[in-house]
Amino acid sequence: MCQPPNNTGPQSIQQNTTLINDNFNNHLSEEEQNSLKLKHGKVKIQMNDNSDNNFSGLRHLGYCYQHGIETEKNEIKAFELYEAAAEKGDVDSIYQLGYCYQHGIGTEKNEIKAFELYKASADMGHVVSTYNFGKCYENGIGIEKNDNEAFKLYEKAAEKGHIISIYNLGKCYSCGIGIEYNKIKAFELYKKAADKDHLDSIYQLGFCYLFGTGTEENVIKAFELYTKAADKDHLDSINILGFCYHYGIGTEASEIKAFELYKKASDKGHLDSMYKLGNCYLFGIGTEANEIKALELYKKASDKGHLDSMYKLGNCYLFGIGTEANDIKALELYQKVAGR
Q: Which residues contact 246 (CB under 8 A, 6 or more apart)?
A: 253, 255, 258, 276, 285
**In the chain, alpha helices (H):** 30-48, 55-67, 75-87, 91-103, 111-123, 127-139, 147-159, 163-175, 183-194, 199-211, 219-230, 235-247, 255-267, 271-283, 291-303, 307-319, 327-339
Domain count, the chain: 1
Residue 191 within a domain: no
Residue 149 within a domain: yes
Residue 3 within a domain: yes
**pLDDT for res 53:** 55
Residue 291 within a domain: no
**pLDDT for res 25:** 38
Residue 49 within a domain: yes
Query: Is residue 10 classed as helix, strand or coil in its secondary structure?
Result: coil
- Residue numbers of the domain that contains 45: 1-169
Residue 111 within a domain: yes
**pLDDT for res 32:** 52
* Domain CATH for 11: 1.25.40.10
Please report, in tens digits, the pLDDT of each residue of the chain (340 residues total).
Answer: 454 333 333 223 232 233 334 443 343 455 555 454 444 444 553 444 445 457 888 999 999 999 999 899 999 999 999 999 999 999 999 999 999 999 999 999 999 999 999 999 999 999 999 999 999 999 999 999 999 999 999 999 999 999 999 999 999 999 999 999 999 999 999 999 999 999 999 999 999 999 999 999 999 999 999 999 999 999 999 999 999 999 999 999 999 999 999 999 999 999 999 999 999 999 999 999 999 999 999 999 999 999 999 999 999 999 999 999 999 999 999 999 999 8
**pLDDT for res 55:** 82
**pLDDT for res 197:** 98
**pLDDT for res 56:** 85
